[in-house]
């Protein structure tokens, strides 16, 4: 297990300096602009937010003005160095960047008001373990936001997924939108709402909460609010 974690860390460390440049070249900028707009609807006013797999801090830095305090973790120290430098240049002081493993979170139970795990679950060997850790550290009734690329949605997404695999970005789970919904429910979450961002590899923006803390049955996955919009590949 430790060897696997070290291998993952070394991969992301080696890619850190090219990460932002490659993301811009990949054509996902517009998708992330749409994502930020949706995020703001769900996290504005939150006191204590966890972002897992923050990378170079793209999401946390964009949302920092809406949240009192953000803890942003990543497996890669080199990614975190870039994130910290961005925060310094932007004079953002309410983000605590620290090294951490989404599958083994170093926080007490019921610690955060909300958590974000953006486009990371499909990359993990044990995504279910990550979901259980997120559930553990988020307070009962807290918001969990998990935008995820669905590499297994259709033939086109499979093709682009294979291309990304050649580049080193291996999707270890190729969910469709429906199978990802089932994965979330199987891990003890209720889906509050979702939006599907169309693209070469569709992204499902999904908001969930611990099904054990659902109040009076007011949220029901059968009545999930589903919207679709478009994004770049």
pLDDT in tens, 181-213: 999 999 999 999 999 887 777 888 999 999 886
The pLDDT, as a whole number, for residue 172 is 72
What is the share, in percent, of the chain residues with pLDDT greater than 90?
Answer: 54
Q: Is 170 among the domain residues?
A: no
- Report if residue 156 sits inside a domain: no
**75 occurs within a structural domain:** yes
Q: Identify the band that residue 219 occupies on the pLDDT scale cut at 50, 70 and 90.
A: very low
> What is the domain extent for residue 78?
2-148+181-230
Structure confidence at residue 29 as a pLDDT band (50, 70, 90): low
Confidence of residue 114 (pLDDT cuts 50, 70, 90): very high
H or E element in which residue 83 lies = helix 77-90
Tell me if 168 is assigned to some domain.
no
Residue 27 to residue 22: CA distance in whole angstroms: 9
CATH number, residue 135: 3.40.50.150
According to the model, what pLDDT value does residue 161 have?
60
140-163: average pLDDT? 79
Residue 192 confidence (pLDDT)? 96
Under 8 Å between Cβ of 155 and 149: no
- pLDDT at 153 (0 to 100): 64
Whole-number mean pLDDT of the chain? 84
Residue 172 in any domain: the answer is no
Q: Are 128 and 188 within 8 A, CB to CB?
A: no
CA 110, distance to chain mean position in Å, is: 19
218 has pLDDT over 90: no
According to DSSP H, which parts of 55-154 are helical?
A: 58-63, 77-90, 127-137
């Amino acid at each position: 297990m430790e060897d696997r974690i070290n291998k993952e860390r070394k991969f992301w460390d080696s890619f850190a300096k090219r990460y932002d440049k490659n993301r811009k070249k990949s054509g996902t900028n517009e998708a992330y602009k749409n994502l930020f707009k949706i995020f703001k609807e769900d996290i504005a006013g939150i006191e204590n937010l966890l972002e897992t797999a923050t990378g170079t801090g793209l999401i946390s830095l964009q949302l920092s003005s809406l949240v009192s305090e953000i803890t942003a973790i990543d497996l890669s120290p080199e990614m975190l160095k870039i994130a910290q430098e961005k925060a310094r240049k932007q004079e953002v002081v309410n983000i605590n960047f620290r090294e951490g493993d989404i599958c083994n979170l170093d926080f007490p139970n019921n610690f955060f008001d909300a958590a974000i795990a953006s486009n990371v679950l499909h990359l993990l060997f044990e995504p279910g373990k990550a979901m259980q850790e997120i559930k553990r550290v988020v307070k009962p009734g807290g918001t969990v936001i998990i935008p995820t690329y669905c590499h297994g949605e259709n033939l086109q997404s499979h093709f682009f997924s294979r291309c990304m695999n050649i580049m080193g970005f291996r999707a270890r789970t190729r969910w469709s939108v429906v199978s990802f919904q089932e994965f979330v429910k199987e891990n003890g979450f209720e889906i509050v709402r979702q939006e599907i961002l169309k693209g070469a590899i569709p992204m499902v923006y999904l908001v969930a909460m611990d099904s054990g803390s659902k109040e009076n049955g007011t949220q029901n996955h059968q009545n999930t609010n589903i919207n679709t919009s478009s994004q770049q590949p």
